[in-house]
Amino acid sequence: MADLLSVAKLAGVSRATASRTFATPERVSPATRRKVEDAATQLAFRPNKVARQLRARATKMIGVMVPSLNNPVFAEQLHAMEVAAREADYSLIVTTSDYDPSREQAIVDEMLSQRVDGLALTVAIAHDSAVLATLKRESTPCLLVYNPLHPGGLPAIGVDNRAAMAEATRHLIALGHRHIGMVAGPLLQSDRARLRYAGYRQAMREHGLAPQPLIEMPRHTQAELACLAPLLAGHNRLTAVLCTNDLLAISLIGELQRAKFSVPGDLSVMGFDGIDLGQRLYPSLCSMEQPRIEIGRAAIATLLAMIQGQSPPLPFLPHALREGESVGAPPATRQALTPRSPERNTP
Amino acid sequence: MADLLSVAKLAGVSRATASRTFATPERVSPATRRKVEDAATQLAFRPNKVARQLRARATKMIGVMVPSLNNPVFAEQLHAMEVAAREADYSLIVTTSDYDPSREQAIVDEMLSQRVDGLALTVAIAHDSAVLATLKRESTPCLLVYNPLHPGGLPAIGVDNRAAMAEATRHLIALGHRHIGMVAGPLLQSDRARLRYAGYRQAMREHGLAPQPLIEMPRHTQAELACLAPLLAGHNRLTAVLCTNDLLAISLIGELQRAKFSVPGDLSVMGFDGIDLGQRLYPSLCSMEQPRIEIGRAAIATLLAMIQGQSPPLPFLPHALREGESVGAPPATRQALTPRSPERNTP
DNA sequence: CGCCCTCATGAGATCGATCTCATCGATCAC
DNA sequence: GTGATCGATGAGATCGATCTCATGAGGGCG
């Protein structure tokens, strides 16, 4: 309510002196400082950041756009960003896009109008995003989070999705699985899902195994057993599936158990993301962990460096296999002590 | 980058006319409008919201403070707020407090300095919060979310925690449970947890049952079986527990299953919050649902009304029992067909 | 005693958009 | 033809803090 001018008047000094009292107290005589501080207290003075931002041509705000907050991956990352930003005295403007390109565009426009000092964006598909093309022409530092590097040269931070999923696949292969499927949301609508599928195929081929066609679920984070059930019976039935994200995996496990399948007895299920919750379930979720906290923190640190004109290196952040009870040896291996092969074993 | 003045110059008009071209195009002649629009396109003009905010003495921003984003209750509510705010052309500044009072204070100060038009806060304990005492004196509209009504008169939005938990308790009693416990995080550190415990005790007494002492877990959203195990054996062993939140319940179920307890066979577990994920698990989580989406939406709507000087009514929002597989009849009832009472049945 | 330097302070411009009020030309009614 | 009205436009103030530069008082030193 009260502004600097009223404080200055009450203290009997000029605006400049009042301003200095807060910005550079050592340049104000102790007596004057005291008067100004008293006046400020008396009037419950609160500096107006908007005015400061206008004058400084900098807002100390970072715009963050994530697809959704209902997926803990993004919520956890955002939490880390918020903490890191506040440590550096920055605030976050947070928006969600639901992967809708028109919303993405509107959000970015809005944030640029708001004169955020930097942008941290997670878009659906980076390489053909109209928004990003626009952004290249802007001078506001912009960092992609989770997305792969953008051909237009926008920096990106995240794990090597392809390598990570290949590694996850190899984990299952090493356990003896041969019939491994991959479960995803509709249309592989994010570039990460595509890279993960590529990693899966690569690892399968490396081992002379046939990559299976993608098993698409109608929703991104919710499994429908009907889409998978046909593949769980018969000669070449799946013994393990990889899911493109943890929520999908968790929901799939729930559906399987409700239908009296055993996990991992009948089917091993592996996730991707490593959200906290996965470890608390039974069976605990085996997953390929993205360092969400570290990604959030590093994103802010990188953006701050970019704001100061540097262009810090952006290696992939390390993914890590998180063991879990949802993955085990395939039924075939368990019966390997008997002479009969699993195919013949099942009528 | 480019400002209105450069656009005006390029178009050969005054700032005022350029400004009008965007604000009230009908008051500018078509020819001039065209010239200004061309100039704006050519210079990639983006209006500077900071300047507008300073002049308008309003930011169209709402400050949101939640304890954490790692709990889906808050993440889901925030998601709803973000959508509702954007529809009304408002942005959100989002911060997390981890229930730390000093952080709460710093955050609120920061947001007031930022001149947000309204505040939506979720604090640990509303009735003795220093922050809220400060806020009463400010003119910025402020709404408590999830917290109970504040004695100082700050409006609040959420469910009737006490009634909701009483209802949850009655649900278990109706199923035949008599030995019902309540599991909470450390120290009942939030006012909601306290009200829920009160609701539990009330319902127990109503039915002539003895409320059990609170079972405190060392962490707010993660269960440790050791704290509960002693109560699961013996004559008066618990047949059901209520948890103060869903994450705690989910983690408890995981721990129980890992220790080969059956849920709900050996112990019924009920949550509170109704987060989406609960329904996807097996057993699905029985919970008392808080309408998180509706709370988020209503919070924004209420704040917008308050910003316009109204003081809309704030009834409790309705909670709803969500059935789930994690709750069933107590073992005693299952054996009720045999003549022996459950107490004597167990050596 | 005079010169210079330092320190505290104030006057005024500035950031970029918007709002009020004045102006000017044109149209219209009488 | 002349005053009134209306529409389009511009000049200038304003929002609140900060920055630059100028001023003036006081101290140190030759």
- DSSP per residue, A219-253: SSS---GGGTGGGGSSTT--SEEEESSHHHHHHHH
Residue % of chain A over a pLDDT of 70? 95
Domain of residue A266 covers: 161-285+324-345
Of B75, B91, B137, the CB nearest to A70: B75
Q: What is the pLDDT of residue B234?
A: 81
Three-state SS for B49-89 is HHHHHHHHCCCCEEEEEECCCCCHHHHHHHHHHHHHHHHCC
Residue B216's CATH number: 3.40.50.2300
Both A281 and A304 in one domain: the answer is: no
Residue of B nearest to A285 (CA): B254
Name the more confident of B229 and B267: B267
Q: Give per-residue burial for B158-176: e unless 16+ CB within 10 Å, then b.
A: bbbbbbbbbbbbbbbbebb
Q: How far is A81 from chain B (nearest CA, A)?
A: 10
Helices in chain A by DSSP H: which ranges? Answer: 4-11, 15-23, 30-43, 49-56, 72-87, 101-113, 130-136, 161-174, 191-206, 246-258, 292-307, 331-334, 342-345
Distance A26 CA to D29 C1' (A): 27
Flag whether pLDDT at A11 surpasses 60: yes
Burial class (CB in 10 A: 0-12, 13-18, 19+), B153: exposed
- pLDDT tens, position by position, B131-151: 998 898 899 999 999 999 887
Both A196 and A153 in one domain: the answer is: no
A282:B59 CB<8 A: no
Of the pLDDT bands very low, low, confident and very high (cuts 50, 70, 90), residue B226 is: confident
- Which of A67, A71, A155, A64 has its CA nearest to residue A108? A64
Which strand C nucleotides have any atom less than 7 A from protein CB atoms? 7-20
Residues 6+ apart with CB under 8 A from A315: none
Flag whether pLDDT at A344 surpasses 80: no
Q: Which amino acid is at B130?
A: A
- pLDDT tens, position by position, B282-310: 999 999 999 999 999 999 999 999 999 99
Flag whether pLDDT at B339 surpasses 50: no
Of A75, A114, A258, the CB nearest to B69: A75
Identify the DSSP state of A286.
E
Q: Is A93 helix (H, G, I), strand (E, B) or coil?
A: strand
Residues from chain B that touch A76, judged by Cβ atoms under 8 A, are 69-70
Both B140 and B220 in one domain: the answer is: no
Q: Tell me the two tokens of residue B304.
A: 């917008």
Residues from chain A that touch B69, judged by Cβ atoms under 8 A, are 69, 75-76, 78-79, 82
Q: Which nucleotide is nearest to A17 (CA to C1')?
A: C9
Of the pLDDT bands very low, low, confident and very high (cuts 50, 70, 90), residue A333 is: low
B95:A92 CB<8 A: yes
- Which of A86, A85, A134 has its CA nearest to residue A112? A134
Q: What is the pLDDT of residue B267?
A: 96
Distance A50 CA to D26 C1' (A): 39
Of B46, B69, B91, the CB nearest to A112: B46
Flag whether pLDDT at A3 surpasses 90: yes
What is the rounded average pLDDT for all residues in chain A? 92
Both B218 and B243 in one domain: the answer is: yes
Sheet containing A268-273: order of strands: A215-216, A180-184, A240-243, A268-273, A286-289, A320-322
Mean pLDDT within A315-323: 95
Residue of A nearest to B256 (CA): A282
A79:B69 CB<8 A: yes
Both B121 and B74 in one domain: the answer is: yes
What is the rounded average pLDDT for all residues in chain B? 92
Both A334 and A251 in one domain: the answer is: yes
Both B12 and B25 in one domain: the answer is: yes
Instruction: Find which of A114, A258, A276 to mutate to test the B interface (most B CBs within 10 Å of its CB).
Output: A114
Name the more confident of A204 and B344: A204
Q: What is the pLDDT of residue A338?
A: 40
Residue % of chain B over a pLDDT of 90? 79
Residue A9's CATH number: 1.10.260
A92:B91 CB<8 A: no
| Terminal CA-CA length for chain B | 80
Mean pLDDT within B239-256: 96
Both A166 and A212 in one domain: the answer is: yes
Flag whether pLDDT at B345 surpasses 60: no
Q: Cis link prior to A283 (omega < 30° from 0)? A: yes
- pLDDT tens, position by position, B25-80: 999 999 999 999 999 999 999 999 999 999 999 999 999 999 999 999 999 999 99
Q: Is B272 helix (H, G, I), strand (E, B) or coil?
A: strand
Q: What is the pLDDT of residue A332?
A: 63
- pLDDT tens, position by position, B85-119: 999 999 999 999 998 989 999 999 999 999 999 99
B280:A47 CB<8 A: no
Q: What is the pLDDT of residue B332?
A: 63
Of A79, A254, A280, the CB nearest to B70: A79
Residues from chain A that touch B281, judged by Cβ atoms under 8 A, are 250, 254, 281
Q: How far is B103 from chain A (nearest CA, A)?
A: 10
Structural domains in chain A (count): 3
Of the pLDDT bands very low, low, confident and very high (cuts 50, 70, 90), residue B83 is: very high
Flag whether pLDDT at B338 surpasses 80: no
Of the pLDDT bands very low, low, confident and very high (cuts 50, 70, 90), residue A186 is: confident
Residues from chain B that touch A250, judged by Cβ atoms under 8 A, are 277, 280-281
Q: What is the pLDDT of residue A346?
A: 40
Residues 6+ apart with CB under 8 A from B245: B71, B73, B185, B220, B221, B271, B272, B273
Flag whether pLDDT at A326 surpasses 50: yes
Flag whether pLDDT at B270 surpasses 90: yes
Residues from chain A that touch B110, judged by Cβ atoms under 8 A, are 91
Residue B8's CATH number: 1.10.260.40
Of the pLDDT bands very low, low, confident and very high (cuts 50, 70, 90), residue A152 is: confident
Flag whether pLDDT at A9 surpasses 70: yes
Where residue B113 falls (left for φ over 0; alpha for ψ -120 to 50; beta otherwise) is: alpha
Both A192 and A264 in one domain: the answer is: yes
Q: What is the pLDDT of residue B337?
A: 40
Distance B28 CA to C13 C1' (A): 31
Residue A67 contacts residue A100 (beta carbons within 8 Å):
no
Of the pLDDT bands very low, low, confident and very high (cuts 50, 70, 90), residue B344 is: very low
Residue A32 contacts residue A88 (beta carbons within 8 Å):
no
Q: Is residue A182 part of a domain?
A: yes
Q: What is the pLDDT of residue B24?
A: 93
Q: What is the pLDDT of residue A229?
A: 82
Q: What is the pLDDT of residue A295?
A: 97
Where residue B158 falls (left for φ over 0; alpha for ψ -120 to 50; beta otherwise) is: left
Alpha carbon of B91 to those of A68, A83, B215: distances in Å? Answer: 16, 19, 41
Both A199 and A265 in one domain: the answer is: yes
Q: How far is A244 from chain B (nearest CA, A)?
A: 17
Both B25 and B109 in one domain: the answer is: no
Both A278 and A152 in one domain: the answer is: no
Q: Which segment of A10-14, A143-147, B33-37, B122-126 scores lowest on mean pLDDT?
A: B122-126
C-alpha span between B72 and A330 (Å, rounded): 34
